[in-house]
Amino acid sequence: MLYNNNYEKNLKETLNNIHNIDMLKNKSVLITGATGLIGSAIVDTLIYANKAENFDINIFATSRDIDKLRKRFEKYSNDKDLTFVNYEASRDLKFDFKVDYIIHGASNAHPIAYSLEPVETMISNFYGLNNLLNYAKNFNVSRTLYISSSEVYGEKQDSKPYREEDYGYVDILNPRACYPSTKRSAETLCSSYKMEYDIDVVIVRPGHIYGPTMTNNDSRAFAQFARNVIEGKDIVMKSPGLQLRSYCYVFDCVSAILSVLLNGVSGEAYNISNRDSIVTIRDLAESFAKRCGVEIVFENPNNVEVLGYNMMSYSALDASKLEGLGWRGIYNIDDGVKYTIEILKNNL
C-alpha cells in the first residue's frame, strides 16, 4: 500500500510546513487532476488533515475516470468528506455544488502526451481553465489556484535562475510548444478574469516535480529512473543529462501550493523550487542509481521521445517570492529520492 509509515511521515511534515493551514478548517476544496502526480498528493494531504487534525475539509476530487479515482483512494473511498466527481477539461462543466477553493491541476503532464496529442493538450489546457474560472465567477468561489509550469519562461540567454518576471523565447511553430504556449495563455486568462470579473486567482509555476505518487504511464525522466532502479535495472539515459533543473519532491510542491492558496497575493504567480534541489538530470539519475546500486547507461532516444523533450535547456527557478510567504523546502534530492524508492517498493 502507498500509505506506509514513510508516506504518513511525509503527510505530517507537509501539513506542518504550511503557514496558516488552519484557514482550511471546515472549508471545501475542489482538486482537478486528482489522480495525477501532484493532485493525488494534495488530496492525500487534505485527507490526512481531516484524519489527524479534525479539519473537516470537504474534498471534491475530480477525474475523467471515476473508477481510477476509486482505485487510487480506495482506502478512503467511503469517507463522507471525500466526493469523487467526473470531470473532463475539454467538456462543459455540470457541477451542482459550491466550493470555497479550486486547485486546478488537470492537464496532459508528461512528454509523450505532448508529442502525440498536441491539439488535445492545447484545448484542454485553455478550455478547461476557462470553464473553471467561469464556475468560480458564477458560484462565488473564494479563490482559484492554477497550477501552471516553469515552461512558460521559455529559453533565455543568461544562466541565472528564472524569476517570476523573466520570460524568454518559445518557438510557437513547434508543436511541442502546445504545452508552454497554452500555459502562458492560461495565465493571461487568469489575469483577465481577475481584471474583468474580480475573480480571486493565484498561479504557481512548479519546476520538475517527482515522487512516489507518479502514475503508471508517466514518461518523464524521473519516473523512468524510479521504475528501473526498483526493478534492479540500470538507469537508461537518452541524453548526457547536463541540463540544470529545479527538481522538487512532490510533498514540497504540495506544501508550496497550499501555502500560495492560503497566503499568496491575488493575481500573482509564484515559482515552486527547492533551493537545495537545483541539479542536473544526470545528478538526479546518479542519486537514484546510487541508492539502489545500479549503473547508468546511455542510449539514443527514439523519434517520439525527441519530440517530447523540454524546450528549455536551462530551467532553474528562483523561489524567493514563495519563500517570502514563509515556505521552505524540506526535502533535498537525496531525501526525495530515498522516500520515492522506499514508498514505491512498499507498494509493489
Say how many domains are in the chain. 1
309 in any annotated domain: no
List the grid coordinates of 297.
547507461
84 in any annotated domain: yes
pTM of the full predicted structure? 0.95
Integer Cα distance of 236 and 99 in angstroms: 44
Give the model confidence (pLDDT) of 109-125 as tens digits: 777 777 789 999 999 99
126 in Cβ contact with 104 (< 8 Å): no
Listing DSSP states for 113-175 in one string gives HHHH-HHHHHHHHHHHHHHHHHHHHHTT-SEEEEE--GGGG-B-SS-SPBPTT---B--TTSG
57 in any annotated domain: yes
Integer Cα distance of 338 and 341 in angstroms: 5
The per-residue b/e assignment along 70-107, b for 16 or more CB within 10 angstroms, e otherwise, is: eebbeebeeeebbebbebbbeeebebeeebbbbbbbbb
Residue 3 has pLDDT above 90, yes or no: no
Give the model confidence (pLDDT) of 33-58 as tens digits: 999 999 999 999 999 999 999 999 99
Q: What is the CATH number of the domain that holds 159?
A: 3.40.50.720
206 in any annotated domain: yes
260 in any annotated domain: yes
Give 241's pLDDT tier (boundaries 50, 70, 90): confident
288 in any annotated domain: no
Give the model confidence (pLDDT) of 68-82 as tens digits: 999 999 999 899 999
Integer Cα distance of 143 and 134 in angstroms: 12
Domain hosting residue 85, numbered range: 5-210+247-275+316-327
Nearest to 256 by CA among 197, 322, 306: 322
Give the model confidence (pLDDT) of 282-336 as tens digits: 999 999 999 999 999 988 777 766 666 666 678 899 999 999 999 999 999 999 9
Mean pLDDT of 208-235: 92
171 in any annotated domain: yes
176 in any annotated domain: yes
Pairing type for strands 235-237 and 201-206 reads unpaired
CA 45, distance to chain mean position in Å, is 14
List the grid coordinates of 17.
510546513
